[in-house]
Amino acid sequence: MGSIPPPKSERKPLHQAIPPLILGTATFNSQYVSDPFNPEILPALSIVSRTLELGINAFDTSPYYGPSETILGDALAHPVNAKYPRSSYFLVTKAGRIGGNEFDYSPSWVRYSVYRSLERLHTTYLDLVYMHDVEFMSPAEVLGAVGELRRLRDEGVIRYVGISGYPVSKLCDLAELVQAESGESLDAVLSYSHFTIQNTTLSTSAVKRFTAAGVDVVLNASMLGMGLLTTRGADAGPTAAWHPSPGELRGKVKQLVSVAKEADEKLEVVSIRWALDNWSRDGASLGGTSSRLPEGTRVGVSVMGVASVPELEETERVFHSVVEGLNIKPSSPEVAEAHAWSLQRRKKIQGLVEKMWAVLGEWKDYSWDSPEPGFVNTRRTEDFGIVPDDGVMARHQGSK
């Protein structure tokens, strides 16, 4: 299952440890596919194996994503992937969100959730753990939960600590609060659906605030707006039942599909290329490092969600091209040619996206409410901190 990570004093900063492209496994869930356990519908083992073969050595999951942790853990532990030791890949999960409107940020639940994730992922440690969807909880609860993650870090159970959520301003507020109240900055902040062709809120002003709060790495997830920015859109498949985008915005996105087709492109390809390319540069000061670039060069970190091997390979190919565009000192004529092609592609995509912004109009940079007005945590106050009697706590606390 892997060895215990080094103590805090010996750990390098997160930006030196985290790769710039991460496989997100929210798609290993019935919210995105009809039957995530059916390999004909979701070939999870093939996706994970191919991810490792491509050199993408980082995975993001969460207990909130239904069976995602279990499916991912079983795929990583499968004999076909035995040649990849635990130390060769970076594991990320989350804690605190139990269900749609159910949250528990109490220290005992956070600890239980992390221990359970260890078992599901077949590992003795986690590289990075976020408190999940922090906008749903009070600042005091977030501070307390981050404190518990840091205690687990100091015990060697996890390596780095962060928060995730939807409203960018709230993430900035909480990053600043954690720094001010604890005297220690967050290692990471995960933002989703806020650096896309439809919503660019995770931009210069947010990066400046996160930098001032001492955050080391800011990650951009859900480049397709949780399935909204695709040819299929949010009105088809399992997303139709839960996607929070309003009908008028969905209608605008259907128009974007036509704009893409007129340019002989697919909306999802344009969306992924634009987000990967622009965040690689706009998020570079808070990014990770790539072995394909000179040592010390930082690249904005992106989390990609896929549900098939072809989607994975296409996204990796696009990211590879993006990195080639960042290489300002080509080492050979072939590299110089790839660099020039990447810049040409960037120019074409940017022009197309600007046409799409004109179509979006007032819906550009629109963010839906999170939480929705009237949100009530369905977890009863008297149940906070009560964990299942399933042996998880006993197995891990008893091993100390």
For residue 130, give both structure tokens: 């976020």
Does residue 96 lie in a domain region?
yes
Q: What is the pLDDT along the chain (400 residues), one digit of tens a residue?
A: 445 555 555 689 999 999 999 999 999 999 899 999 999 999 999 999 999 999 999 999 999 999 999 999 999 999 999 999 999 999 999 999 999 999 999 999 999 999 999 999 999 999 999 999 999 999 999 999 999 999 999 999 999 999 999 999 999 999 999 999 999 999 999 999 999 999 999 998 999 999 999 999 999 999 999 999 999 999 988 999 999 999 999 999 999 999 999 999 999 999 999 999 999 999 999 999 988 888 889 999 999 999 999 999 999 999 999 999 997 776 788 889 999 999 999 999 999 999 999 999 999 999 999 999 999 999 999 999 999 999 999 999 865 5
**Confidence at residue 331, expressed as pLDDT on a 0 to 100 scale:** 73
Cα separation of the two ends of the chain: 17
Alpha-carbon distance of 122 to 89, in angstroms, equals: 13
Helix (H) or strand (E) holding 303: strand 301-305
Tokens of 173: 């507020």
Is 122 domain-assigned? Answer: yes
pLDDT of residue 378: 98
Q: Say if 121 falls within a structural domain.
A: yes
CA angle 161–167–168, rounded 5-degree value: 70
Identify the domain containing residue 228 by its residue range: 10-243+283-308
List helix spans (H) across the chain.
Answer: 14-17, 44-53, 68-77, 107-120, 139-154, 168-182, 204-212, 247-262, 267-282, 309-326, 333-360, 392-397
Q: What is the DSSP letter of 25?
A: -
Long-range contacts (CB closer than 8 Å, 24 or more residues apart) made by 349-357 = 349/270, 349/273, 349/274, 349/277, 350/274, 352/259, 352/260, 352/263, 352/265, 352/270, 353/197, 353/270, 353/274, 355/259, 356/197, 356/256, 356/259, 356/260, 356/270, 357/197
Per residue, the 3-state secondary structure of 132-146, as one string, reads CCHHHCCHHHHHHHH
Report the alpha-carbon distance of residue 29 to residue 68 in Å, rounded: 6
pLDDT for the residue 245:
97
Active site residue 130: no
pLDDT of 6: 55
- Does a structural domain hold residue 270? no
336-369 burial: b if 16+ Cβ within 10 Å, else e: eebbeebeebbeebeebbeebeeebeebeebeee
Predicted confidence at residue 7, as pLDDT, reads 57
Q: Do the domain assignments include residue 371?
A: no
Q: What is the pTM of this model?
A: 0.95
Do the domain assignments include residue 248? Answer: no
Note whether residue 256 is domain-resident: no
- Kindly tell me the burial class for residue 260, based on how many C-beta atoms sit within 10 Å of its own C-beta (0-12, 13-18, 19 or more): buried
Structurally, the chain folds into a number of domains equal to 1
Omega prior to 371 cis, within 30 of 0: yes
Residue 275 lies in a domain: no
Catalytic residue selected from 32, 65, 160, 192: 65
CATH of residue 44: 3.20.20.100
Quick one: the chain helix, strand, coil %, rounded to 5?
Answer: 45, 15, 40
